[in-house]
Structure 1
Amino acid sequence: MDLPDDAVADLARQVRAKVTDRLVLGIVGPPGAGKSTLAERLRDVLNEDGRVAVVAPMDGFHRSNAELDSMGARARKGEPDTFDAEGYVAALRRVRERRGRVEWPTFSRVTDEPVPGGVVIDGEPIVITEGNYLLLDEGPWQDVRDLLDEAWFVDVPDEILVPRLLERFLAGGRSREEAEAKIAASDLRNAALVRTTRDLADLIIDGFAPD
């Protein structure tokens, strides 16, 4: 089920009403749940009358494939320790404290690598960060929640997640066999872990469109 335009507009109104100096909104959920789509649609609605919002994805802090290979963790890409969580927290703290211009990395599904400085955060009063582990209470991730003004959890059942993830991996050049193995061995396990943080969110949004 897609989220109707009027529902996104209502969410945007809620966000606008809470802004004072800078509002940092976290959108959390399992892989394929629709986090990126919601973040981008929300940003676009908020920016209809001028740039006030920017999206800062957690995926930009994926460790490079070379680093994952050196860790022996390439097959587990997407699990908590395959991200530079310390770097993400440090960048988010700079955004939270308005410490000047921040060049934030994004992630390319074409190259399967982070892109340095993919988005620039400067004077925008609304920063939307989205990712799987924003509410995870372990390691460096446990510092994220205090840097968010609000956290929303986006979710869909596994029977919807699996075909979305399969389509994503096939589009990225994996074979069906490789994609199915990755989903079974890693992504569904990640989804289960992320769902343990669901009750920590301020708002739950079920049944959204794909990333």
Structure 2
Amino acid sequence: MTSVEPLVARARSLVANAGGGRVVLGIVGAPGSGKSTLADAVAAGVGAADAVVVPMDGFHLAHTELERLDRVSRKGAPDTFDAAGFVALLRRIVARDEDVVYAPEYRRDLRNGVAGAIPVPRDVPLVIVEGNYLLLDSPPWDQVAGLLAESWFVEIDEAARLERLIARHVAFGRTPEAARAHALGSDQRNAELIAASAHRADLRVAPSPTVDR
């Protein structure tokens, strides 16, 4: 397992070597791998004044739109996100020519994203973007990697990942049986696609025992 301290030091080094420019760090992993918690831990280690986390999940298509498209059962697949909107936001974050860029946040209790929930001020030097498909090679996802200063892929024992994922689904209202079916079905197909992109990462890391998202 990887302690968060060396990763915080690595993130700080990226900022120090940027010569005053903004660093966008990508943290990638399958559902349940711990990428969200790792992103939050690194940001906390760097400091709230110098780092902000922008989750890709804020770009989930609205649940009503997924119903219209008959894609609710595959929610979380690459085509169930506003990928072009995500890329456009990243370009604004990288450009750093606005006082504040607002990013959306996904709310599991609402099953929808909430616009304008995460402020990214111009003076914040480190933006940590976390999500499933940052290293995908299909358009428009293939534009993301070029906007990242560095990418980290979170690797975890598969049995542990599935256990965490099933527990998360149960916590948000699914029965244990439905949670397991979803984790081994739609989620697993997504996880296999994400794993196939791992070789494009600059660094592979293992989460700490406390990482559960």
Asked if the contact 1:52/1:125 (under 8 Å) is kept, the reply is: yes
Q: Which moved more, 1:3-12 or 1:116-125?
A: 3-12
Asked if the contact 1:19/1:126 (under 8 Å) is kept, the reply is: no
Which AA in structure 2 matches 1:61?
A: F
Residue 177 of structure 1, CA deviation: 2.0
Residue 207 of structure 1, CA deviation: 4.3
What is the SS of the residue equivalent to 1:190?
helix
What is the SS of the residue equivalent to 1:139?
coil
Asked if the contact 2:27/2:39 (under 8 Å) is kept, the reply is: yes
The corresponding residue for 1:202 is 202
Report whether the alignment pairs 1:14 with 2:13: yes
The corresponding residue for 2:162 is 162
Residue 138 of structure 1, CA deviation: 0.3
The CA RMSD measured in Å over matched residues stands at 1.5
Asked if the contact 2:15/2:125 (under 8 Å) is kept, the reply is: no
The corresponding residue for 1:115 is 114
Report whether the alignment pairs 1:74 with 2:72: yes
Distance 2:11 2:136 in 1: 25
Asked if the contact 1:8/1:41 (under 8 Å) is kept, the reply is: no
The corresponding residue for 2:33 is 33
The corresponding residue for 1:96 is 94
Asked if the contact 2:151/2:202 (under 8 Å) is kept, the reply is: yes
Q: How many matched pairs?
A: 208
User: Unaligned stretches of 5+ in structure 2?
Assistant: none
Asked if the contact 1:19/1:125 (under 8 Å) is kept, the reply is: no
The corresponding residue for 2:105 is 106
Which AA in structure 2 matches 1:10?
A: A
Asked if the contact 2:26/2:134 (under 8 Å) is kept, the reply is: yes
Runs of 4+ more than 4 Å apart: none
Residue 18 of structure 1, CA deviation: 2.9
Deviations 1:81-107 (A, max 9, x none): 011101000001111111312110011
Deviations 1:4-63 (A, max 9, x none): 35334433443333333101100011111111111111111111xx60111111000011
What is the SS of the residue equivalent to 1:25?
strand
Distance 1:161 1:115 in 2: 27
Q: Which moved more, 1:173-182 or 1:14-23?
A: 14-23
The corresponding residue for 1:86 is 84
Asked if the contact 1:106/1:119 (under 8 Å) is kept, the reply is: yes
Deviations 1:147-190 (A, max 9, x none): 11111111112201111111111111111222112111111111
Distance 2:5 2:197 in 1: 28
The corresponding residue for 1:134 is 134
Structure 1-normalised TM-score? Answer: 0.93
Report whether the alignment pairs 1:65 with 2:67: no
Report whether the alignment pairs 1:144 with 2:144: yes
Structure 2-normalised TM-score? Answer: 0.92
Distance 1:206 1:90 in 2: 30
Which AA in structure 1 matches 2:14?
A: V
What is the SS of the residue equivalent to 1:26?
strand
